[in-house]
């Protein structure tokens, strides 16, 4: 046996646990879900092939459109707001001040708090009767001599999604670290040249910092949109998986979960999952095509 074949054999043997795990726990479930999306499958009975019936049912399903709207609403508002917050925090924490490590740690901590714990915490903070947020709003109103009353937050159809968006902005520490790493690579000479040309801090931020952060901005945007399209855990914990009030928190992943594990419509749930995959895949390709020139230009410096 030649040395090349022997090295290939040994390499495959060393990689075999990962290859087998990938095939059994990832590849097979993905292919099985694709097949079940064309079946009437309720788990308790064998799957029956029904063709495109599940996909045709989506077209007439009002909850499908409601979940799409809720997810789109959340993604369009939470991702830009979270990115701007994370970027500004990174800019502030990139300054040379005393106690910088402490402040970086404090702002990063919320992103590593378990989702269930943070959801329960925010459910208490946003309680319309005894929550701290409404108590602060009421105290501000008394100080200004203006009667201010906090909204119903998670108990209000109009405020439930803004409540979840506010909660998501609290946990942008991961994005902040990515931006902070990118800021370390911006050449100091560019700031010095901009200062000589008379640029102020705002001009430096817009004309120097933002262009050099192009790749980081594109990466965070894509990952944020993918994460927002799969938003599930906080909505499930804070509403008990019901999607209430009035279906305002029935996000796409939560609706998929209900179909799969509450109603045992596995075939329909698989169809929902593949539609979500198609939307994310197409949206990611379009986004990369639209922003590729911006990322490449900034990457060249």
Question: What's the pLDDT score for residue 297?
Answer: 55
Q: Rounded CA gap, 142 and 135, in Å?
A: 11
Give SS3 for 75: helix
Question: What's the pLDDT score for residue 301?
Answer: 44
Question: What's the pLDDT score for residue 95?
Answer: 82
Residue stretches of the chain with pLDDT short of 50: 299-301
Question: What's the pLDDT score for residue 296?
Answer: 63
Hey, how many other C-beta atoms are within 10 angstroms of the C-beta on 59? 8
Q: Rounded CA gap, 283 and 68, in Å?
A: 14
Question: What's the pLDDT score for residue 261?
Answer: 93
Q: Rounded CA gap, 97 and 90, in Å?
A: 13
């Amino acid at each position: 046996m030649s040395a090349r074949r022997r090295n290939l054999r040994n390499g495959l043997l060393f990689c075999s646990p990962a290859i087998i795990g990938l095939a059994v726990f990832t590849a097979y479930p993905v292919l099985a879900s694709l097949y079940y999306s064309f079946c009437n499958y309720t788990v308790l009975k064998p799957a029956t092939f029904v063709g495109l019936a599940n996909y045709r049912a989506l077209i007439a399903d009002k909850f499908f459109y409601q979940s799409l709207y809720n997810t789109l609403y959340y993604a369009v508002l939470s991702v830009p707001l979270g990115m701007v917050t994370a970027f500004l925090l990174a800019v502030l924490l990139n300054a040379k001040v005393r106690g910088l490590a402490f402040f970086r740690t404090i702002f990063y901590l919320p992103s590593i708090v378990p989702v269930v714990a943070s959801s329960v915490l925010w459910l208490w903070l946003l309680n319309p009767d005894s929550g701290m947020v409404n108590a602060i709003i009421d105290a501000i109103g008394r100080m200004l001599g203006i009667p201010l009353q906090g909204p119903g937050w998670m108990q209000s159809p109009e405020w439930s999604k803004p409540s979840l968006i506010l909660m998501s902005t609290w946990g942008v520490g991961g994005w902040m670290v990515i931006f902070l790493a990118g800021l370390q690579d911006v050449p100091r000479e560019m700031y010095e040249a901009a200062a000589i040309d008379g640029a102020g801090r705002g001009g430096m931020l817009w004309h120097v910092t933002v262009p050099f952060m192009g790749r980081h901005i594109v990466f965070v945007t894509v990952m944020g949109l993918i994460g927002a399209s799969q938003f599930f855990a906080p909505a499930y914990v804070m509403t008990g998986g019901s999607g209430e009030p009035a279906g305002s928190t029935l996000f796409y992943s939560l609706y998929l979960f209900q179909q799969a594990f509450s109603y045992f419509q596995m075939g329909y749930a698989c169809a929902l999952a593949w539609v979500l995959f198609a939307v994310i895949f197409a949206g990611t390709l379009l986004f990369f095509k639209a922003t590729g020139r911006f990322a490449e230009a900034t990457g060249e410096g």
